[in-house]
Amino acid sequence: MSHNVNTYTLGDRQVKRLGYGAMQLAGPGVFGPPADEQRALQVLRDAVAAGVNHIDTSDFYGPHVTNQLIKQSLHPYHEDLVIVTKVGARRDSKGGWLPAFSPEDLTQAVEDNLRNLGLEVMEVVNLRSMLDVHAPAEGSLEPQVEAMIKLKERGLVKHIGLSNVTAKQVSDAQKMTPIACVQNLYNLANRQDEALVDQLAAQGIPYVPFFPLGGFSPLQSEQLTEVAQALHATTLQVALAWLLQRSPNILLIPGTSSPEHLKQNLASGELVLSPEVVQRLNSIA
């Protein structure tokens, strides 16, 4: 299947490779309401007006905050818009992240997402592994994947994705059901998923990296800053452009609560990195 360099297939939909992640629209620590609700609603409207048709969210952002903002600003949704959510976690009263990983929890979470977004069916739901809250950890996800398959059979979910998972968990899940995408930590400084990105690309499956600037050492940031200055771009634009050039199956979901930053992030699609620049950036890891 040939892909336009700017789009890729997610489930059975064509989405632009530069999407938008709603996480940062909630309050500090992804908890509570935004400082400026009107601005948050504006960013969502601006994203869609700029052609973004892939929005990443979750009912545990806020909790409920980002989904309610999406519904308030964009519902009824344009038929072209693909909203992707994730399940597997919940928040305590202080904003801590806890597993909500039983089949009952997952069912409840999908129903909550549908209600808060004002949807009848979720296009894609990512099952976020909570075997370790902070990083992928080996272990069976069979009961959780089974629960997702049941939700698919009930017609509440069209496609199942995975998040915070190992390559083994991806292939184990694929023996049970088609996997529509994988959402993991991957960026210039964190390349543990190098082989997985390529493996999924060969299967025509999107890989959705989060934290494009997460986990850089000061030294790495310095190198990135020098490259960005030479290109008259921001460090985030360079990091996003590198990801877009890394593999055609990479879909980006940079988040921001600023209309100005949104414009900058979307402009990273125009930034072409020469082979020399790519080589220099590759040495960062």
- Which positions are catalytic? 61
Other Cβ atoms within 10 Å of 125 Cβ, number: 28
C-alpha pair distances (Å), 43 with each of 26, 74, 172, 258: 12, 11, 38, 7
Dihedral (Cα; 85, 241, 283, 214), 10-degree rounding: -40
- Tally of residues, the chain: 285
What is the b/e burial string over 55-88, where b = at least 16 CB atoms within 10 angstroms of the residue's CB? bbbbbbbbbbbbbbbbbebbeebeeebbbbbbbb
How many CA atoms does the CB half-sphere of 144 hold within 13 Å? 31
Q: Which helix (H) or strand (E) holds 183?
A: strand 179-185
Phi, psi dihedral angles at 170 (to 5 degrees)? -65, -50
List, edge to edge, every strand of the sheet that includes 157-163: 20-21, 54-56, 82-87, 122-128, 157-163, 179-185, 207-210
> For 46, phi and psi rounded to 5 degrees?
-65, -40
Q: How many C-beta atoms surround the C-beta of residue 95 within 10 A?
A: 15
